[in-house]
């Protein structure tokens, strides 16, 4: 009798967790639609907080959730701090939090997966850790960078190189936005677009969604580059079955690109 009641309570808890997460997501989207364009970044910041709280609430049912819950609380505090300071580019932080939260919330609440099962499903494992890091570095240096350079040269010849839009956005942003793009951003994006979406919808659809997410810079070159990276990372994830390789590759690409951009300003 007690076991049956406990099971009913867990089912009810999962239902209300899902309902709460769904309501916060809907409210966040509603705020974005109703608010003016110039308030979009703050709307997305609020959206990130709401969705983060919803996902955090769902995490409480996960085994060994204390680590994830603690990270969620730290994220929330970080968001509140930046919002109170009126810092721009909040959409970047909110977007990354949303991407990082969705896979865990989905597998826990809808897939009924334990924390360990979710980690394994997303390719988060210590198995072949050094090998996967090496693959990420090698593919970035010897395959991705040459392809991106050829791609950029093609757009330059065609008179369509609008990469300056991206460069201006990066240079105008506070330094910690670039640090975030290098150290934290790749985790959320790779967890969502590769570890979560690739097994569900395939490499090409996930890569296309990834490129759309990067069109906020209003750059055709950035869109094409993100599509290329999305395809490369997708097949790398399928080959290694580990998100470590693609996180390494993504972080290295961002680190190198942003570092070269800042260094180029020294010689202008």
Is there a single domain that holds both residue 94 and residue 138? no
CB-based contact 252:164 (threshold 8 Å):
no
Is there a single domain that holds both residue 114 and residue 135? no
Is there a single domain that holds both residue 35 and residue 80? yes
Question: Among residues 153, 120, 77, 66, which one has the least CA distance to residue 242?
Answer: 120
Is there a single domain that holds both residue 234 and residue 174? yes
Among candidate residues 88, 118, 148, the one where a domain is terminated: 118
Q: How many domains does the chain have?
A: 2
Question: Among residues 122, 85, 126, which one has the least CA distance to residue 104?
Answer: 122
Chain CA centroid to CA 56, Å: 17
Q: Write down the pLDDT at residue 48.
A: 56
Q: Is the pLDDT of residue 72 over 50?
A: no
Q: Is residue 124 part of a domain?
A: no
Question: Among residues 104, 86, 100, which one has the least CA distance to residue 45?
Answer: 86
Q: Write down the pLDDT at residue 94.
A: 62
Q: Is residue 14 part of a domain?
A: yes
Among candidate residues 73, 89, 118, the one where a domain is terminated: 118
Tell me the mean pLDDT in the region 166-193.
86
Q: Which two tokens stand for residue 16?
A: 């209300």
Tell me the mean pLDDT in the region 133-157.
95
Cα-based distances in Å from 92 to 97, 108, 171, 228, 252:
9, 25, 15, 21, 19
Is there a single domain that holds both residue 162 and residue 114? no
Q: Write down the pLDDT at residue 247.
A: 96
Between CA 119 and CA 98 the distance in angstroms is: 17
Is there a single domain that holds both residue 106 and residue 180? no
Q: Is the pLDDT of residue 81 over 60?
A: no
Among candidate residues 118, 144, 172, the one where a domain is terminated: 118
Burial zone of 216 (CB within 10 Å; 0-12 exposed, 13-18 middle, 19+ buried): middle
Domain hosting residue 182, numbered range = 129-265
Q: Is the pLDDT of residue 51 over 60?
A: no
Q: Is the pLDDT of residue 212 over 70?
A: yes
Structure-model confidence comparison of residues 79 and 98, the more confident one: 98
Q: Which region among 44-48, 148-152, 245-249 has the lowest average model confidence (pLDDT)?
A: 44-48
The b/e string for 122-153 (b: 16+ C-beta within 10 A; e otherwise) is bbbeeeeeeebbebbeebbeeebeeebeeeee
Q: Which long-range contacts (CB under 8 A, 24 or more apart) does 145-148 make?
A: 145/253, 145/256, 147/228, 147/232, 148/225, 148/228, 148/229
Q: Is the pLDDT of residue 151 over 50?
A: yes
Q: Is residue 123 part of a domain?
A: no
Give the pLDDT band (50/70/90) at residue 260: very high
Q: Write down the pLDDT at residue 86.
A: 46
Chain CA centroid to CA 262, Å: 24
Is there a single domain that holds both residue 218 and residue 237? yes
Q: Is residue 213 part of a domain?
A: yes
Per the prediction, the chain carries an average pLDDT of 74
């Amino acid at each position: 009798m007690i076991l049956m009641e406990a099971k009913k309570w867990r089912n009810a808890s999962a239902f209300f967790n899902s309902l709460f997460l769904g309501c916060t997501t809907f409210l966040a989207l509603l705020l974005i639609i109703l608010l003016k364009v110039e308030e979009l970044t703050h709307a997305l910041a609020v959206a990130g907080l709401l969705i983060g709280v919803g996902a955090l609430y769902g995490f409480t049912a996960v085994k060994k959730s204390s680590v994830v819950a603690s990270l969620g609380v730290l994220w929330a505090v970080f968001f509140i701090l930046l919002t109170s300071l009126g810092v721009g580019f909040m959409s970047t932080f909110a977007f990354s939090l949303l991407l990082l939260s969705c896979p865990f919330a989905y597998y826990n609440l809808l897939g009924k997966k334990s924390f360990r099962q979710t980690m394994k499903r997303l390719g988060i494992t210590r198995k072949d850790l050094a090998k996967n890091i090496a693959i990420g570095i090698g593919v970035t240096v010897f395959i991705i960078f040459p392809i991106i350079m050829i791609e950029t040269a093609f757009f330059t010849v065609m008179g369509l190189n609008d990469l300056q839009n991206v460069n201006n956005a990066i240079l105008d942003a506070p330094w910690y936005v670039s640090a975030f793009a290098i150290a934290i951003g790749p985790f959320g994006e790779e967890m969502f677009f590769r570890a979560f979406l690739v097994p569900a919808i395939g490499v090409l659809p996930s890569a296309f969604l990834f490129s759309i997410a990067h069109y906020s810079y209003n750059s055709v070159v950035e869109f094409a580059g993100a599509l290329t990276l999305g395809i490369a990372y997708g097949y790398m994830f399928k080959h290694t079955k580990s998100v470590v390789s693609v996180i390494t590759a993504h972080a290295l690409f961002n680190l190198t690109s942003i570092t070269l951009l800042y260094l180029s300003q020294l010689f202008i």
